[in-house]
Chain A
Amino acid sequence: MALPSYATPVQRTYYYAYLFFCAVVFFFLIAPLFAIIPISFSVSPFMVFTEGMLAWPPDPEAWSLRWYKNMIGDCSADVVSSTVPCSTKWMKGTVNSFYIGTIATVIATALGTLAALGLSRPHMPYKGLIMAILISPMIVPLIITAAGMFFFYARINLVYTFTGVILAHVALATPFVVITVTATLVGFDMNMVKAAQSLGAKPIRTFFKVIMPLILPGIISGALFAFITSFDEVVVVMFMASIDQLTIPKQMWAGIRQEISPVILCMATCLVLLSIFLLTTVELLRRRSEKLRGIKAR
């Protein structure tokens, strides 16, 4: 939407002011994420840009990988400092996060896909109500869901167990799968199911041979959403997890509250890279899905 050639100077001014404003907002959105990356390579134990880092030509003394080494549990003398003790918690948190995230994703994806399939049938009774209940964990503030789950799980002795945390994450992640898969099912030709069944396929075989290959992009991006939900989740973990179920977000939370150390920024940098990777994957999947369903790429 370039400016027409007959625009008046006033219009031009408005137009450039508008573009400038948008640029500022984009900067506001993205700058904090990239500000932390250089600091994570700093040698100083404080989360600031040191003078050496800003100097020109760059001072190699000011940059180091020491906090990354600290993060992966390397405890040699040049890695720890008086304010940043060596800790194995980050690695433990990473293992737990992937463990909880993976199991929760598998369960949530299976449940969510089934729910979405059921909900897209044309004659499903109480469709709106079921959809509203399924989506509610997305809308209700996490703190309420977490408090409610804590009370409920306390009654059935699931608090402070892996099972409890995983189940809670399944409940939080399923709506994302339902939404993405439902979106993929729009425009899915139900005649293909009928065709498969009239050729003698049983429902399960129909699902795996006909439905699933076609909606696979939706299922995968739903699964990625589910994974990131579980992977990022901190409130439920804070309430329901003991030290055994330490995850990355919980360790980051503890890190920010107690010892503000650059190790947090190293982990944050890794997470930013992870989210760039996930974002790219989802975007590619979305395009592929639109191609598969014959919707012209917008």
Chain B
Amino acid sequence: MMLLVTSGVAPYLAQAESILDVGDTFIVPLLLKLAFVLGIFFVVPLVAGYLEHKAMARMQHRRGPVEAGPFGTLQLVADGIKFIQKEDLIPSAADKWVFAIAPGVALVPAMLALLVIPFGPGVFALDLELGLFYVLAASSVSVLGVLMGGWSSANKFSLFGGLRAGGQLIAYELPLILAAIAVAVQAGTLSLVGIVEAQAEFMLFGTGINLWFVIPQLLGFGIFFVAALAELSRPPFDMPIGDSELVFGYMTEYSGIKYAMYMLTEYAGMVTMSALMVVLYLGGWQLLPGVPLPGCEGAGGLFDCDVTGTLLGVVVTFGKIMLLVFVMVWLRVAYPRLREDQLQRIAWQVMVPLALLNLALVTIAKVVY
């Protein structure tokens, strides 16, 4: 619906043109963009999952998947086929409709968030003027799906898992948004493409040294990373599915394809959040600060690219995304799970004040310089 409404009206769109805007017809770019978003949504999370399998295995002195496909690369595809074949169990006391819809309510916002994220010069479906705000709004809806699943399962463990997830997602959404606002303040725009451009043009005060936003906003980046981990319920913030106490939290009663949808939401969320961090703090598709991409002519050497430059930009972006995914996996292996009260205390007594401090500092610096 967003697509239908937006393509006709100019005010929704920022200036940047997508490479998928081909021809004069309405329907061709629309289909291309849908295919682009769905393709990324169903393929990149599998790559992230494979990376997690292999990296975790190495850190635990195992080999990880080796049988399915070369080096076990098709393990998650095989898992997907297995999930589709499984029996779709619904507990007899469960609220059937809510139980069935809940994984979709969690999944669709994760899919929608990918609509505006740029993966390279011109490689995005839409460059909304409100892109950053749109991603945060879309991801805030996922909580509903988790709460619905936790409640409708008619199971104590699920209910507690849903409650914990709800409390955690509400608590960590605030520092996440506050950290993102600080980036928007520094960049002077909410468009994700605009933020990449602003980073390419941001110079250290009074000099010609180009810096990514991660340097002046190291605190903000830390807050965003931790809050993103908590938003995704990734270890060490996986209290909602803490298997030593709650079986598997809100996912306890789910099996088959619905369970797979919850898992896909988590991995797609990892990719989305990593991509967002790349765009907000790590210079988007810029190789190194101050280094223009070969074949590009626009602002900061990052726009109006030829085929080589575009492909290189996409490779750089996905490289950075996978690097961040790897760090998330690393943290999962390295740290034990937090206790519920520690988790809430960190959110409200540490993260929120720090995020506010970061926002104040960035705003003052923006006004002074």
A and B physically associate:
no
Residues of A bordering B, CB below 8 Å: none
